[in-house]
Every structure is written in C-alpha cells, then in structure tokens.
Chains A and B, each alone.
Chain A
Amino acid sequence: MTLHELTIAEAGERLRAREVSSSDLLEAALDRASRTEAQLHAYLTIDREGAREAARKADADLADGIDHGPLHGVPVALKDNMCTRGVETTASSQILAGYIPPYDATVTRKLKEAGAVIVGKTNLDEFAMGSSTENSAYGTSYNPWDIGRVPGGSSGGSAAAVAIGSAFAALGSDTGGSIRQPASLTGVVGMKPTYGTVSRYGLIAFASSLDQIGPLSRSVQDAALMLEAIWGHDPLDATSYSGSYPNPSAALDDGVSGLKVGVVKELAGEGYEPAVETAVSAMVDKLSDAGAAVVEVSLPTFDIALSAYYLIAPAEASANLARFDGVRYGHRGEGATTEKLMARTRAEGFGPEVTRRVLLGTYALSAGYYDAFYGQAQKVRSAIQEDFSRAYGSVDVLVSPTSPTVAFEAGARVDDPLAMYLSDICTIPSNLAGHPAISIPIGLDEQILPIGFQVMAPALGETVMFQVAATVESLAGFTERPVLEELAS
C-alpha cells in the first residue's frame, strides 16, 4: 500500500514505529497533489512552505518524545471557508479574492495543537452554497472516479483530495449535507457532528443555525479520530455545547447486536436511482443478519424539510453575507456614495447562486413575508425535531441513502436550481434537527461510481452512530480506490 493510501490510524502506527516520518507523509500527499490537481482541482491553495515547516516540527517533537495524539504529523486539508491566519481564505468567492485572515478558526488552532500538518485549502461551492462545487468562483472540482462528473458539494474539494490521496483527511462544513453528499459521491467517509459540538468560530458563516464542521476521511475510525481532535466547548462560540461529550472511537468494535435500526420510509422511491436503493437495501439486510432489529419508520415531516431548509438557510445567509460590503476587506467596487459602492461590490463579488440565495433570503425575511416564510419554516423545523424524537423512541439509529443518486455529470444541474437542491433531500433533515449523521461508502454502481449509506442518530448520539457506521464499513468491505490516469507532472 502506498503511503498516500494509508488511513490516519495506519499512518500513526508507522510514525510511531519510526517506519515513516511526517515529512514522508507530507511529501507523499504533495506529490499526489501535483499529479492529480490538473484534473481534479481539489485545492485552491497548497501551502508547501507552511506544511513542510509543520511536518519538520512534528518530526522533531516526536523525536523529543512529545506526542500530541492520533493526528500528530498527519497531513490534512481544510475547506477554504475556515480561517487560517496568514493563508489566503476565500470561501471560493471573488469577493474575498486575496483575503488573508488575521486569525485562525478554532478548528484550525485545534488541528495545529493536535500536531496535524495543514497541506492547504480546498475548493468549495461559493460560500458553501451548492451541491456540486460548480459554484466556485475559481473553477469547479472534479470527481476522481470520473473527471467528467462532479465530486458533490459544497465540500467537493475536500472530498476529492481525500479520495485521491492528496490529503489523509480533511475538514468540510455541512449545512444541508455538504460533507456527507460529496463523501457519498466520492466514496469516502464524511460526517456531520451534533450541532454545537464543533466550534464555528472562524468558519465563514453560511447558515448559522445549520452549519457544522466535520471530517472527511478514508475510514470510520479516522473520522472519529478527527472529530475527537476538533470538538469540544469553545468560549468563543455562544452556541457551543458545554456538557459532557461522547467517546465514539471507543465504540467502533461493538457491533450492532441488539440495536434497533429504523429505515426511513420517506427517503426512497421516485428520484432515487435503482442501484442506490438496491445497495442500501442490501446493507440493511446485512445489518439485520449481523444482529440488528430492523424496522421501517415514517417521518412524514421529511417531505417538507427541503422547503423549510430553502427558506431558513438563505434567510440566515442573507444576513451573514451582509458584512461583505467592500468597506473593511475583500473586493471593493466603484461608487461615489457608500450605498453605490456596496451595491457594486456585491454585484461584482457574488456569483449567481449566492446572489439567488441572498435575494431569496432577503425576500423571505422582508416586511409582510416573515410569518408565511421564515417564521413558518422555523415551525416546520420544530415539527421535524418532534418527528425525530418520536422515531428515536423506538429505534437507536435511522438509516437511508446519503444521496438519491450517484455523482452526476458536470453541468447537468447548473441550470436547474431546484434539481440541484434535490441532491440534499436525504441529508437536510439532520441539519434542521441539529443531529449527527454520517455517510459510509458501501459499493459502486454499474458506472463505477460510489454509493453512500447514511446513518443518523439523536443529538449527542455519536457513540451509537459510529458504532453502527463501523459495522456498516466492515460489512461493506469497500476497498476500491479511484484510478486516475496520472498526467506527467
């Protein structure tokens, strides 16, 4: 197995056995990047100098007996909507072209403290708005399994980098499925933690009540290790959970015997590709064989979850993006008055999807429309939480496909916003409820495109969720990797 294909756990073993150094791991990742970036465009920034410095330090520390834990010396990537001090952070928008944050996001700081080596910043849909990464102002990313297809979004760059091996793991952000859906489309593991468990300080906000940062990785165990390094109460985030946190990496070998698994009735049928449904169904049967009690569960509010999401997220986003006005940082357009300057700045700086959502959100909040739209959507959200509550009264976890389809062709949905939004139909309910959810790759369809299986759990239910996810992973036995015809570097 080549270096860049190692999991974090495996790399950690070799590091401590002195078989490899952190610098070796980094060079493997960088080399992989140089061979694949022309085709995949997973990264916006590769910080060779900073990463090499960090790898050197990691190696020196280990030699001195200083060990920061499982991520020590491991090369990881960060989605470019997370602030990294001194390193350009753009949220894939023209409005932040050249912007260099004067501070680190909390997750950035935590990764550094954990000894991780930050390779660079990955591509995303502009301001995390999208399901394909095609909304990036710097060009889209492509799927390593088929470079004519999208890697999913909005964390498409992170997913592609992990899938191809130019990072050992990555952080993405998930507002309506933006970690899980690209993970599903690129055949890697991706999870969204319970809302409030990972600090959002330094995450360029899209929808404040929905955004969560989470890991993309090559194994379920890696995801747990990444999660445990980045989560925890943060006094700089007033929505941060200050109670006790679960211990998911301890439960990975516990199996599913005695657990109750609910298959969500509403997340199937029209719009779902047969290969996806077949694979998911087969996995459900395997879980049953492995000792889980499987039942069908109905959560009727899931049918209006998408509508609620497409009112709440843009509304919050319209306010979160108001700070991009050309005054203190970023792009500035021309204008003889501040009002004109702001309007020019934003028209020039925002892409079409962002503009669409800002208009939508502004409208949904405006005088006379609040009650019917945003206010009502927040009530639907309560109803969804109730549905979940009721379901978890009789099951431990809920399962479904992560995405109704496998990776679609680049350009296939850009002109049909509604079709694009439907990509998130399985993932959105967890965001609305604030619950954790994870996608595990379970196989390939006849086009050699990955299929993802989603496990959902109640708030702070990461332990049982990872427990089931680890079982799914081992039952799937999915070991295929994308083969990319490498161009001469």
Chain B
Amino acid sequence: MTWESVIGIEVHIELSTSSKMFCGCAVEFGAEPNTNICPVCLGLPGALPVPNRKAIEWIMAIGLALNCEVSERSVFHRKNYFYADLPKGYQISQFDIPVCHDGYLDVTVDGETRRIEIERAHMEEDTGKSTHVGDGGRIHAAESTLLDFNRSGVPLVEVVSRPDIRSAAEARAYAQDLRAVVAELGASDVRLEEGSVRFDANVSIRPEGAEGLGTKVEVKNMNSFRSLERAVEYEIERQISVVEAGGELTQETRHWDEEAGVTRSMRIKEGSSDYRYFTEPDLAPMVMSASWVDEVRVGLPELPAERKARYSNEGLDPDLAGVLSSSPVEVRDIFEVATAAGADHRRAANWLVGEVTAWLRRTETDPAKLPLGGEQLAELVEIVDEGVVSSSAAKVVLEGVLQGEGSPREVAEARDLVQISDMSAIEEIVAKVLADNPEAVDSYAAGEEKVVGFLVGQVMTASRGKADPKLVSELLRKKLSS
C-alpha cells in the first residue's frame, strides 16, 4: 500500500504593533513579568476591548501578500474556554467571517512548484504565558504554574492553509516562505525562537489516490524549521506504522519532543472543546471598504504576483519568474543588484533559484546571512559568458565564493578552474589527441558521428577539464572534416 500524506499548516504571527490588540499596553518582548498590563488585557471586571486599527491594516497587508481576498465585512467572535493564561475565560478571535480568505502561496521543493491554498487569515489576541515550575519544568511534572500576562492581548494573525501540502519538506518550505513574506512586509519580526511566529501542523495519511481525509493529528511545539520538518516526517511514519499494524489513529493533539525525536500524545482534557462561538458584543463590525483596501495595497512593498509579472517582462519565463518571486527577499535583492550591474536576467535568476537556493537549504543558512553580493553574482555570470570558466566549473567557483574565498575571478584563479580558451593551446591538445586515436579518426571518416563525443572527452581529460568544450568540439569537427 502506498500512502499519501495530507498536511495543513497553521501559523500564528505576533504583529509588531506598538500597542496591544485591544488596549494601549506595550508590545514588548522580554519585559519584567506583569509590567505591561491593564484592566483590559488582565481581564479585570468592567474592562472593555477596543481594536487596534494598525493591526487590522497589517492583517489586510498579510492577506494581500498571500493573494487573499479581503472580506468586505468582518466581525469578531468570542471563543470560550477556561485556562489560567486566558484572563477573560474567552479569547476574542474570529469564527466564520475572517478578515482575509482564499489565498495561496506557490512553494518550490526540488525544482517542483506547487500551489498551496490558504483558507483564511484571521485576527485574534494572544494569551498570557505559563511557566511550569517543579521537576524539570515540563508540563507533566509541574508543581505550580507561574503566569505572566505581558503577552496577553498581543495582536495575533492566524493563517490557515488548506491540507494541500504533501511532504515534510514541502511543509518546511511553505513555513519558510510564509515567514519570509511576513518578514518582508515588516508586519512582525517573525522570530521562531522568541515565539513571535509559531507553527502547528495538521497531519493525516490516506491511500495514494484516495479522496477524503484520514484521521487528523495536530502537532505542536516545533521551535525551528528543522524540527517542523522532522516532526512532520516522524508523524507521517508513525501514522503509517499504526495503520499498517492494523491499529486505529486517534484524532488528537501531539507535542513534538525535539530531544527524543518523537511526537507524544497530550493528555486529552476532560470534556470536549466546545468553544460556544458567538459574535463579540463589545465590538462593532468592521467594514473594509474598497478604498481602504486600496490604501493598504498601495502602501505594500511589491507583492509576489506583481514581482512575478515584472520578472516576466524582464525576460524570465513564467516558471522561473514565479520561483524567483517567491524566493526570500535577500535572494531577490541580489538579483536586482546583479542585473543592475549588467548581468543577464535569465542567467542571474537561474543561478539564484538553482545553485544558490540549494546551497542555502543544504547548509541550513538563514537567507539573511547569505554571503553573496549582487556584484559577485554579476561577475560570475560574466566569467561564464566570457568563457573564462565552463558552466560546470562555475558551480565550483560559486561554492568557493560562498565559502568566502574571494570574488569569482579570484576563486577561478586560485582553484585553477580557468578554462583554456587560447586557440593555439587547444589546437595543440586536439592535434595530440587526434594523433593518439587514429581508429577514432577513421570511424568518423566512415560516418560515425558519435565518436566526436569520445574525442571531446579525450581532449577534456588531456586538458584536465579546463579546455572550453565548445571550442574543442568546434575545432575537432573542423580538423576531422578536413
């Protein structure tokens, strides 16, 4: 039985507004506990929420950047449940009319691009923070819980994808790309380690080709992109092994344990989660007029779709344009600088979405720390154009540049990758090879075209790979035909 994994990702994004979602307390990471609190975010009797206009503009911006529709009219709902870090005993969130809906993100993994649909982006408020103290500080062994409400009421945008993701690698790519979009907008500092962006994965499996969805398991507590990928991978395998052993899967929430490398079932609390949603009576409905949406749109940096169109106009074919436009901003900035310095658009783009992106993934480097300048890329393109290095040697040159060995020309020299383009030098080697391979010469005369390839190979070997293969081929044919 071959299995297909069906994955959806939920992303929570803490906005970097100055003040909280429903009150004027500061949004600030790392402050002394319970110093950024007021009647509203502490849930004191008599307090009332008033929504932050800037937060609504941010969620509209995020939605637009993710190709979503912005709802004309949207309302808040109360999501009712009891938890110590939820001061009102309900969270102000959105139920059936979110601010944004029906968007998508095009994600590329191993050269293949797939569209992951986004069901919705809605606005809500964050909860306080619980620290469990006792043995080991882990939730199951705590003796008591300390509560800090500084985070309570921070604006939170929740983006929910449709279950279109089909692999752990794709889940990771989606998460990284989405994070990059939000970072570029400036809506949030999206720092995983600080919790300003959080990912949950919904994972299920089904027989390949089947319709319908299997039992869904929610996986939480993945604190890095790597752990996201590992957790999803683990969960898929776990589900497959349960089902293949004849067992049944439970719809539940599981925690990723980074140390042990497994997901663990969280004890299901007594009583189902009946959130008893109803429209928030303390808040007025929101109307996102066309002119307001336009205002937000105009204030956005160039969006992926626009960028893709621009790249197309600059000569990139649609697929390449698409992949480049969804690349991280740092990668795209290099493209802009390189092409401004005169590099051919298509070649520069191919380098970036190909070798450079592969290097980033392989070395798990944050694009913000990519050690490549636009000028360097332009030079790389140039030396290939000039024939200074062959295109295969150029990949090695790039590697060297990324490792900090110097500029492309410097690396080419230092690593002895400079092609021999000097005709007389090549002629010498060609002549020697022809002299050494009389049978091949005869075969060619007898009509065997294929033998040219062999002879080219011989010349390349003799030149230790440094002869320009194009020139070699030309020269050989000339000589053989004469």
Contacts and interface: CB of A to CB of B under 8 A. Distances in A.
Interface of A: 82-83, 89, 91, 96, 99, 101-103, 105, 200-205, 207-209, 235-239, 315-316, 318-319, 321-325, 327-329, 338-339, 342, 362, 365-367, 370, 374
B431 to A, nearest CB: 87
B473 interface: no
8 contacts: A238-B48, A239-B282, A322-B82, A323-B44, A325-B84, A328-B87, A365-B80, A370-B276
Given A238-B51, A328-B87, A338-B84, A105 B282 contact: no
Contacts of A315: 278
B45 A328 contact: no
B410 to A, nearest CB: 63
B43 interface: yes
Nearest to B269: A339
B447 interface: no
B50 A105 contact: no
A200 B281 CA distance: 12
A396 B229 CA distance: 68
B88 interface: yes
Interface string B131-163: 000000000000001010100000000000000
Contacts of A374: 278
A101 B44 CA distance: 8
B278 A105 contact: no
A325 B45 contact: no
B283 interface: yes
Given A322-B88, A329-B44, A365 B278 contact: yes
B345 interface: no
Contacts of B147: 327
B46 interface: yes
Interface residues of B, number: 33
B80 A237 contact: no
B288 to A, nearest CB: 17
Interface string B84-95: 100111100000
Contacts of A239: 48, 281-284
Contacts of B42: 328
Which residue among B46, B47, B50, B278 has the maximum number of chain A CB atoms within 10 Å of its CB? B46
A276 to B, nearest CB: 33
Q: Closest 7 interchain pairs by CB?
A: A322-B89, A365-B276, A208-B281, A209-B281, A202-B46, A204-B45, A323-B43
B101 interface: no
Nearest to A196: B284
A342 B46 contact: no
A207 B281 CA distance: 9
B150 to A, nearest CB: 14
B44 A319 contact: no
Interface of B: 39, 42-51, 78, 80, 82-84, 87-90, 145, 147, 149, 269-270, 274, 276-278, 281-284
Which residue among B48, B90, B145, B269 has the maximum number of chain A CB atoms within 10 Å of its CB? B48
A481 to B, nearest CB: 34
Nearest to A238: B50
Nearest to A362: B276
Contacts of B87: 323, 327-328
Nearest to A108: B46
Contacts of A324: 45, 89
A138 B445 CA distance: 115
Which residue among A235, A327, A362 has the maximum number of chain B CB atoms within 10 Å of its CB? A327
B45 A91 contact: yes
A362 B276 CA distance: 8
A325 B276 contact: no
A200 B48 contact: yes
Which residue among B49, B78, B89 has the maximum number of chain A CB atoms within 10 Å of its CB? B89
A482 to B, nearest CB: 32
Contacts, number: 107
Nearest to A82: B46
A208 B282 contact: yes
Contacts of B80: 318-319, 322, 365
A342 B47 contact: no
A102 to B, nearest CB: 7
B82 A342 contact: yes
Contacts of A96: 45
B45 A103 contact: no
A323 B45 contact: yes
Nearest to B45: A204
A325 B89 contact: yes
A321 B147 CA distance: 20
B147 to A, nearest CB: 7
Given A238-B282, A315-B278, A319-B80, 16 more contacts: A101-B46, A102-B44, A208-B281, A208-B282, A235-B50, A239-B281, A319-B89, A319-B278, A323-B88, A323-B89, A324-B89, A328-B42, A328-B43, A338-B84, A367-B274, A370-B276
Nearest to A326: B84
Given A89-B45, A201-B48, A236-B50, A327 B84 contact: yes
A209 B43 CA distance: 18
Contacts of B281: 207-209, 239, 316
B43 A238 contact: no
Given A236-B50, A316-B281, A325 B82 contact: yes
A316 B280 CA distance: 9
Nearest to A378: B279
B78 A319 contact: yes
A338 B284 CA distance: 33
B125 to A, nearest CB: 14
B49 A83 contact: no
A457 B278 CA distance: 29
A203 B88 CA distance: 15
A342 B80 CA distance: 15
Contacts of B39: 101-103, 202
B284 A322 contact: no
Contacts of A89: 45
A168 to B, nearest CB: 24
A105 B45 CA distance: 10
Contacts of B78: 319
B44 A238 contact: no
A101 B145 contact: no
Contact of A203 (B46, B49, B89, B145): B46
A322 B90 contact: yes
Nearest to B23: A236
Contacts of B48: 200-201, 236-239
Contacts of B51: 238
A105 B82 CA distance: 26
A310 B145 CA distance: 38
B87 to A, nearest CB: 6
Nearest to B144: A338
Contacts of A207: 281
Contacts of B50: 235-238
Contacts of B46: 82-83, 101, 105, 200-205
A322 B149 CA distance: 17
Given A201-B47, A328-B43, A339 B274 contact: no
Contacts of B278: 315-316, 319, 365, 370, 374
A201 B278 CA distance: 21
B276 A238 contact: no
A323 B86 CA distance: 8
Nearest to A237: B48
Nearest to B81: A322
Contacts of A328: 42-44, 87, 149
Contacts of B47: 201-202
B82 A366 contact: no
A238 B283 contact: yes
Which residue among A91, A207, A325 has the maximum number of chain B CB atoms within 10 Å of its CB? A325
A179 to B, nearest CB: 18
A101 B88 contact: no
A374 B82 CA distance: 21
A96 B44 CA distance: 11
A202 B88 CA distance: 15
Contacts of A322: 80, 82, 88-90
